[in-house]
């Protein structure tokens, strides 16, 4: 950054991005993002997390190519059941003589879908409820926070169970149920953040300029709350995967024979002592993916949440 601007030469992308005197809002934003990316890539663990998550996405996309067997159709019950890992079945077979490796590969799609949809549904809800409650205050705050508390006070797995029971089993309903139980903590975080920034000078300045409440919340409060909520959501991904697994474990997640990882563990738990691989392999898969999201969340926190980064 010591270089001076030379009108004879167009600045490189890097220079443009790291310019200390950005010429436009867009440049400033991109510049910030670039710096964040740089600090992110400097963190090896965060990179491992990113690598795992990207890997998950790739596996999900190329599942058909990667799988060696059908994830659904089983082999011969008498001869190919509960086989240990081998050259033919890389991670062994389950109680229906299905190839566990191929099921895991295809199951990645379900896992990814659960995680993404829950984030897409729960995060905006939490963000809106939290910022509106925190910014508007008064009885709106009281009402919204009571509703939040009601949902927060619910036993979480039990609420999800109840919703799945009411909506009928299946992966889509499991996702809705998990989303319904996930937003309250985000709302509380967003509210807490909003409370600390709503009295700040720049909000007062924006208000004096005549901005509407909705605009202030949407354009000025929400973006500031966003980072801590995103961090929390990423850290929660592991929990979401585990709740989905818990529902699968109780037989209320994905429908058999779909290769949902939690349901695979549940089906394998009867064999855990003699045929360890049946329950352990999906357990390891869940562990690795959760790990990936956690590392990614940690890295994101360091980058996006300056208070924790110092």
Interaction residues for another protein, span 80-139 (CB under 8 A) = 81-82, 95-96
Q: CB of 6: closest distance to another protein in angstroms?
A: 39
| From 12, 41, 68, 196, residue interacting with another protein (rule: CB under 8 A) | 196
Contact 249, 236 (CB under 8 A): no
d(CA 303, CA 297): 10
Residue 104 · residue 118 · CB < 8 Å: no
Task: Out of 36, 47, 162, 218, name the contact with another protein by CB under 8 A.
Answer: 162
Closest distance to another protein from the beta carbon of 180 (Å): 11
Tell me the residue length of the chain. 310
Q: How far is the CB of 271 from another protein (least distance, A)?
A: 5
Task: Tell me which residues in 70-89 interact with another protein (CB under 8 A).
Answer: 73-74, 77-78, 81-82
- Residue 142 in contact with another protein, rule: CB under 8 A: yes
Please tell me whether residue 160 binds another protein under the rule CB under 8 A. Answer: no
Structure tokens given for 170: 């299946």
Per DSSP, 99 falls in state B
Task: List, in order, residues 6 or more apart from 144 with CB less than 8 Å away.
Answer: 129, 132, 133, 187
- Examine residue 140 and tell whether it contacts another protein (CB under 8 A): no
CB of 21 to another protein, least distance (A): 28
Closer CB to another protein, 117 or 235, in the complex: 235
Q: Exposed/middle/buried for 104, CB within 10 Å: 0-12, 13-18, 19+?
A: buried
Question: Site mask, another protein, residues 217-256, x = CB under 8 A?
Answer: -----------x------x--xx--x--xx--xxxx--xx
User: Hey, which residues does 115 pair with through a beta bridge?
Assistant: none
Q: Which of 3, 64, 201, 274 binds another protein (CB under 8 A)?
A: 274
Cβ burial of 13 (10 Å; 0-12, 13-18, 19+) is exposed
């Amino acid at each position: 950054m010591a270089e001076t601007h030379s009108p004879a030469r167009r600045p490189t992308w890097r220079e443009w991005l790291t310019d200390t005197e950005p010429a436009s809002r867009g440049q400033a934003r991109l510049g910030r993002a670039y710096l964040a990316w740089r600090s992110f890539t400097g963190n090896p663990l965060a990179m491992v997390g990113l690598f795992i998550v990207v890997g998950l996405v790739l596996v999900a996309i190329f599942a058909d190519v990667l799988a060696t067997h059908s994830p659904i159709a089983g082999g011969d019950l008498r001869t190919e059941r509960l086989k240990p890992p081998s050259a033919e079945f890389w991670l062994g077979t389950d109680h229906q003589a299905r190839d566990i490796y191929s099921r895991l590969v295809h199951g990645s799609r379900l896992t990814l879908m659960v995680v993404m949809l829950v984030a897409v549904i729960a995060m905006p809800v939490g963000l809106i409820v939290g910022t509106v409650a925190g910014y508007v205050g008064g009885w709106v705050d009281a009402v919204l926070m009571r509703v939040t508390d009601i949902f927060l006070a619910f036993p979480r797995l039990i609420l999800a169970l109840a919703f799945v029971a009411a909506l009928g089993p299946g992966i889509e309903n499991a996702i809705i149920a998990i989303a319904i139980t996930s937003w309250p903590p985000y709302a509380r975080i967003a509210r807490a953040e909003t409370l600390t920034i709503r009295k700040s000078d720049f909000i007062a300045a924006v208000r004096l300029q005549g901005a509407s409440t909705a605009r202030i919340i949407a354009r000025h409060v929400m973006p500031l709350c966003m980072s801590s909520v995103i961090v929390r959501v990423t850290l929660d991904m592991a929990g979401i995967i585990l709740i989905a697994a818990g529902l699968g474990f109780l037989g209320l997640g994905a429908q058999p024979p779909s290769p949902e990882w939690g349901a695979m563990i549940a089906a394998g738990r009867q064999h855990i002592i003699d045929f360890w691989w049946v329950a352990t392999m999906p357990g390891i898969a869940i562990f690795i993916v959760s790990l990936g999201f956690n590392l990614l969340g940690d890295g994101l926190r360091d980058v996006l949440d300056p208070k924790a980064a110092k």
